[in-house]
Amino acid sequence: MSVGLLFDTTRCIGCGACSSACKEQNKLPGPVEEVTTAYTWTTVQPREGVNVRKLCMHCAVPTCVSVCPVGALQKTPEGPVVYDGEKCMGCRYCIMACPFDVPKYQWDRPVPVVGKCILCAGRVKEGKPTACAEACPVEATIFGKREDLIWEARTRIRKEPDKYLNHVYGLSEAGGTSVLMVSGVPFEKLGLKADLPNEPPAMKTWQVLSNIPDFVGVWAVFLYGVHWITARREDVAKVENHGNGRSSKEDRS
Ligand code: SF4
Ligand code: SF4
Ligand code: SF4
């Protein structure tokens, strides 16, 4: 059973409860920022007289997963694309590969990792809705089975054709996504890419990489070495700080 979210720009009142609930659920530090960052996994932006949510789209065939050399990103059977910061070696290949410009890097950390929405994978596994959908007071964001959300989106469009564009964003973009959107304002005016192919770019990326002999292996070994050296330096610095009686801050989240 594949699940997802349906976001409706015509219903969103821009209250920001979804962004705040995400922060709380995922214990992300700092206030909600205006754009998505490694610490703000979803944000609500006013555009063209409506509000639009920005978050990972949870692609059916995610490019971020196919390009990660160490398997730090994984697509779960339920739909969420999850991330393991312990495996991440900081190559940033997912950032370059994502067609929706989603993963963000912890530029402020000595050993940075990537941050992005994980579609509340833990909650979803327990049969609960995502925190953002649960927090939305007007059902502008709803959670459910992807096929039910598609039916709901099409029903809203059919019932009020003057209110909505006849398009469900995410139905086929980049091969289809678990996050779907409906709107009365063209999606490109909301900062969403409208020119994406209907086939998953993941396949293309992998085909390109697989044509370069040993590219992934050699690059992975090199980057893992860089990551190890950086982490090692931090460990040494921590030990030295302890020796000097200073406390060490390490809060990878
Ligand atoms: S939107 Fe980007 S980060 Fe999210 S699953 Fe798709 S490729 Fe990965
Ligand atoms: S699905 Fe969960 S992780 Fe993703 S934006 Fe909503 S609350 Fe945040
Ligand atoms: S909680 Fe709902 S209404 Fe409020 S900003 Fe988020 S999607 Fe919009």
Q: How far apart are CA 33 and CA 152, in angstroms?
A: 30
Give the three-class secondary structure for 49: coil
Is residue 253 a part of any domain in this protein? no
Please report the pLDDT score of residue 220 as a whole number: 60
Contacts 24+ apart (CB under 8 A), 137-142: 137/13, 137/15, 137/17, 138/11, 138/12, 138/13, 139/8, 139/11, 140/7, 140/8, 140/9, 140/11, 140/12, 140/13, 141/5, 141/6, 141/7, 141/8, 141/12, 141/18, 141/53, 142/5, 142/6
Number of DSSP helices (H) and strands (E) in the chain, helices first? 8, 9
Cβ–ligand 3 contact at 85 (below 6 Å): no
pLDDT, the chain, mean: 87
195-206 b/e with 16+ CB inside 10 Å = b?
ebeeebbbeebb
- 141-145 and 3-8 strand pairing: antiparallel
Is residue 234 a part of any domain in this protein? no
Residue range(s) defining the domain that contains residue 88: 3-207
Higher pLDDT, 64 or 235: 64
Q: How far apart are CA 187 and CA 183, in angstroms?
A: 7
Is residue 42 a part of any domain in this protein? yes
83: domain CATH number is 3.30.70.20
pLDDT more than 70, % of the chain: 79
59 secondary structure, DSSP code: B
Neighbours of 38 (CB within 10 A): 21
Identify the residue whose C-alpha is closest to ligand 3 atom 8. Answer: 12
Cα 173 to ligand 3 centre (Å):
23
The residue-averaged pLDDT of 45-72 equals 95
Contact indicator for 228, 91 with CB cutoff of 8 Å = no
Say if residue 240's pLDDT is above 90.
Answer: no
Confidence at 19, pLDDT banded by 50, 70, 90: very high
| Ligand 2 binding pocket mutation candidate from 19, 26, 134 (most atoms within 8 A of CB) | 26
Q: In total, how many domains does the chain have? A: 1
Is residue 40 a part of any domain in this protein? yes
Is residue 213 a part of any domain in this protein? no
Confidence at 204, pLDDT banded by 50, 70, 90: low
Cα 71 to ligand 3 centre (Å):
33
Cα 170 to ligand 3 centre (Å):
19
Cβ–ligand 1 contact at 63 (below 6 Å): yes
pLDDT more than 90, % of the chain: 72
Lowest mean per-residue pLDDT among 72-76, 140-144, 171-175, 207-211: 207-211
Report which ligand 2 atom has the smallest distance to the Cα of 80.
1
Identify the residue whose C-alpha is closest to ligand 3 atom 2. Answer: 136
Task: HSE, CB side, 13 Å, CA atoms: give it for residue 226.
Answer: 12
Residue with tokens 């949510």: 53
Please report the pLDDT score of residue 253 as a whole number: 32
63-105 confidence digits (pLDDT tens): 999 999 899 999 999 999 999 999 998 888 899 999 999 999 9
Cβ–ligand 1 contact at 58 (below 6 Å): yes
Cβ–ligand 3 contact at 42 (below 6 Å): no
96-155 confidence digits (pLDDT tens): 999 999 999 998 888 889 999 999 999 999 999 999 999 999 999 999 999 999 999 999
Q: Which two tokens stand for residue 149?
A: 């959300």
Contact indicator for 48, 185 with CB cutoff of 8 Å = yes
Report which ligand 1 atom has the smallest distance to the Cα of 103.
3
Say if residue 215's pLDDT is above 90.
Answer: no
Is residue 221 a part of any domain in this protein? no
Q: Which two tokens stand for residue 112?
A: 């940075």
Is residue 230 a part of any domain in this protein? no
Q: How far apart are CA 154 and CA 174, in angstroms?
A: 20
Confidence at 201, pLDDT banded by 50, 70, 90: confident
Is residue 228 a part of any domain in this protein? no
